[in-house]
Amino acid sequence: MQTKGSSRNFIYTDWILIETQFDPDQLHSKETVFTIGNGYLGTKGSFEEGYPHALPATFINGVYDDVPVVYTELANCPDWLPLVVIVNGDRFRLDQGKILRYDRQLDLRYGLLSRYLRWRSPSGNTIDINFERFASFADRHVLAQRCHLTPVDFDGVIEVQGSINGYPENQGFNHWEGLDQGKTDQRIWLQCRTRHSRIELGMGATMKISGAEASLQVSTAPGYPTLSMTYQAKSKQTVTVEKIVTVFTSRETKTPVSAATEKLAHLPDYATLLRANEQAWDEVWQQSDILIEGDSTAAFAVRYNLFQLLIAGSRHDDKVSIPAKTLSGFGYRGHVFWDTEIFMLPFFLFTQPAIARNLLSYRWHTLPGARRKASHYGYKGAMFAWESADTGDEVTPRWGLNSDFYGEDVRIWCRDREIHINADIPYAVWNYWQVTGDDEWMQQRGAEIILDAAIFWGSRVEFNPERQRYEIRGVIGADEYHELVHNNAFTNRMAQWHLEKAIAVYDWLAQKFPKRATELEEKLKLTPQERTHWQDIIAKILFLHDPLTELIEQFEGFFQLEDINLADYQGRDRSMQAILSIEKTNKYQVIKQPDILMLLYLMRESADFPYNEKALQTNWNYYAPRTDITYGSSLGPAVHAILASDLGKSAEAYEVFMQALMVDLEDNRGNTSDGIHGATAGGVWQAVIFGFGGIQLTENGPVAKSHLPDGWTRLKFKLHWRGKWHDFDLRKEQVTQNITRQLEYLQLSLSQNPPKFPSEASEHQTSPPASPAPPAPSSSPTPHSPLPTPLTSNIQGFIFDLDGVLTDTAELHYLAWQKLADEEGIPFNRQANEALRGVSRRASLMHIIGDRRYSEAQIEEMMERKNRYYVESIQNMTPKDLLPGAIALLNELRQAGIKIAIGSASKNARTVIERLGIADKVDAIADGYSVQQPKPAPDLFLYAAKQLGLEPAQSVVVEDAAAGIEAALAGGMWAVGLGPTERVGAAHVVLPSLEGVKWADLKAKLSNIAR
């Protein structure tokens, strides 16, 4: 549930990312991580009140403006976030005063970003502040903020200032000129325009307060219109401020200011807007969600990557695409690469096909720019830009400027030589057509993309009369470590594949839509001779590979380059190019990202040449060890994960998958501050679906041949294929090999002739004795067959439940269930809640709803809703919420060398442990993510014991629920029950609570029972 990079201070729940501590050194990367958006715009996770050296940014897709050196970039738009709180004259900010509590959360389910703070001002006033914001998924032009303010220990004057900042910068460059601004009744507005592209923007804002009488002032300082509200605050009294913002540009309407102010005047309150946003997100997640059980980190992080794609893909505009860094950062200036078509688009294609169509339509709209590029280089047809923006013209910088005063600028050759994108885009167009069967779009737009880009290849190839082969010379392949190569296998085969499909598309068009075929013939000057030329290229293009071994040479002369052993560079923290230099890297067999393996992956689904199992194995063995998979390109790990999974290399597949999965959450490449790795996010989806899910497309639809990673017990998702939804619910035995050993051992210990337990000399043995196991007993005992007492008092570990044992979260669970039940109109009370003690979330919900009929989607939504209510409530927990005697016993056990685990059915156990401040006292955690079978099955406690390295009989379970006691006994463990005898009387020892409990006394009681 927690990342490996604990320095990131992150906790993951099913849907919510929680940051528990503010670290100024991670300011910029966290701004990226906490980005929100709605496909129209993205807003980085900067603070409402500001912070020194912060880089707040809002990018509206398609709003580009000229800039020196890099030609054009997404313009950072006016900042809608400023919300300043002034407490008795002290301005709230995190670099002043004292932070007593800090908690920032991103709720992926609804795109809601919130921050909970307790702050003591320099003057000594303590206040609780809760910020929320979202970019509406129900209305792309609406943005909303809310702030709850609760003085803790003072009465006084609080002022709140809500503003629009009309002076945004792109790392020092301001793209906007102010045109006008103004105010109406409790509303402000701003009008500005980009300096070169002349795109006009209108933004309006309104603010209201509830919980106190406040005076309102409106300031229209140039470029910074502000609404100010001042009120008399009282201790413990909460006041709520709501700020609603609207934004339009001249890309959507001729009068963006009028549109913004008109919409603003008719919008409902924050709560109503939030409900509409939640409903819109619910619909999207119904189609796009992936459920993973058995791996809590992957379960959350996969959803996080999908969230970042969903907030970047336009649902309304087919003249924009998704930049490489999505709408979340300044990296690559908002330019569009092959990343979109090859890595990101498949996710949308199978879950949100309308967005996939928009992304490909962007390439159709930008064909004029691609034609201009081809003409510039002396070629025919359409030559797609390596980096594209609004027009489709090439905007890859010609030079990379060196930050060293005396360093040489670096020539960027991708704009001239990395031409495989000209086949990558048609590859995506073809796949869209195959998956959707959208003939209308194909004949209107897709065919033109494929045919005009094919004409380019006809003019780009060179015929070598000596070889009697067509060649493509002077290129950069997918591997960018080699910048001037001839006959790159990826480029040559993709061009050949493209021409094959271009002929098929033309033939289809001529037969089905002859009028459109004639139109394109005339427009593109597509002659029969051109199509014959394509056939000749297909037959004679050079492809360097050994048909006996199936080994493919990456490019001409690659095998003659100096070999390299990447293992010699183990422990490095940068790319091989950074270590060797650009010039030297060109001379080595070291690869930035999959090239031959990328080709095999793209040909894998259709089993087109050169893909076959032997070719995959041979080329994997050669190229994988030579690929800089850790610090080369972030595009590589997901592809390696899929192919490794195909090859049965499960551990390796999972390892590189996690590199891709956590690239932004853990900032494992050190560049998350530049923006989200959009291609990696798309690659993650492909790795889960096509790699671990093993999805293959057949004439009858997609089928799964899954090979789930160790620990994954369930993988659930849906795919849209040719107009129909296909649901997949892939499962794997939950009990891992290790837990299976524990269960076998349990079976032996419960048999009529149980074996002796390990002696002191072998107490760390984890495998059961080698003897045949009798039939497995029931996971829960019957009243007529009591389980035997453990045969040893050699106790080495304690396993504590949380609720009712170390802390009393039972009340919080009850309140959350009660709120849900009230919303659903289901009778529920405290008496009914008693039956839920120690029971899993799903089992609890099923008990509450009884025989009422709900769909699986509704059940999952209700579980998540209840969890959200509970998670919100536990944010206020502190070490003071530990029950009497808990910390004293934990400390005593630690001093005695006893291992400690938590065994809680809650999926929020880690959050509670963090809040209680006992993480340093716990050696292992078994929570709701750890096992499939809940209490009273023993699996959870067996898992905990295994994590501690102990046998069941060496473990004491402390529980307050009958189901927990039953589970402990079924696991062959000692059971200590807390509470009334009628509830926990089956335990070996029953105590009223932990208050006053001493380890020495408890040990004596258990020893007596053992004797």
DSSP character for 788?
P
Give the Cα separation of 564 and 431 in Å (integer): 37
DSSP codes, 175-191? -EEEEEEEEETTEEEEE
Give the Cα separation of 316 and 801 in Å (integer): 50
DSSP codes, 849-879? HTT----HHHHHHHHHHHHHHHHHHHTT--G
Torsion of CA 483, 488, 493, 494, to 10 degrees: 0
Element at 736 (helix H, strand E): none
Give the Cα separation of 474 and 487 in Å (integer): 8
DSSP codes, 792-812? -----EEEE-SBTTTB--HHH
Chain-centroid distance, C-alpha 235: 40
Element at 3 (helix H, strand E): none
Give the Cα separation of 679 and 662 in Å (integer): 13
What lies within 8 Å, CB to CB, of 310 at 6+ separation is: 39, 284, 288, 352
DSSP character for 720?
E
Give the Cα separation of 99 and 499 in Å (integer): 62
In Å, what is the CA distance from 581 to each residue of 164, 574, 623, 749, 933? Answer: 46, 12, 21, 63, 54
Give the Cα separation of 494 and 595 in Å (integer): 12
DSSP codes, 680-711? HHHHHHHIIIIIIS-EEEETTEEEE---PPTT
Give the Cα separation of 420 and 521 in Å (integer): 24
Backbone φ, ψ for residue 143 (5° rounding):
-125, 145
Give the Cα separation of 217 and 163 in Å (integer): 12
Contact yes or no for 964/801 (Cβ under 8 A): yes
Residue 816 burial (10 A CB sphere; 0-12, 13-18, 19+): buried
DSSP character for 21?
S
Of 631, 630, 632, 599, whose CA–CA distance to 616 is shortest?
599
Radius of gyration of the CA atoms of the chain, in A:
31
DSSP character for 936?
T
DSSP codes, 50-71? --TT----EEEEEEEEEETTTE
DSSP-assigned beta bridge partners for residue 184: 187
Contact yes or no for 423/381 (Cβ under 8 A): no
DSSP character for 474?
S
Give the Cα separation of 111 and 17 in Å (integer): 11
Backbone φ, ψ for residue 607 (5° rounding):
55, 35
Helix (H, G, I), strand (E, B) or coil at 417: helix
Element at 495 (helix H, strand E): helix 489-512
Give the Cα separation of 36 and 249 in Å (integer): 19
User: Is 480 considered catalytic here?
Assistant: yes
Backbone φ, ψ for residue 822 (5° rounding):
-60, -40
- Angle, in degrees to the nearest 10, between helices 939-948 and 962-970: 60
Give the Cα separation of 493 and 555 in Å (integer): 12
Of 377, 586, 613, 367, whose CA–CA distance to 480 is shortest?
586
Catalytic one among 448, 480, 550, 959? Answer: 480
Chain-centroid distance, C-alpha 327: 15
- Residues noted as catalytic: 480
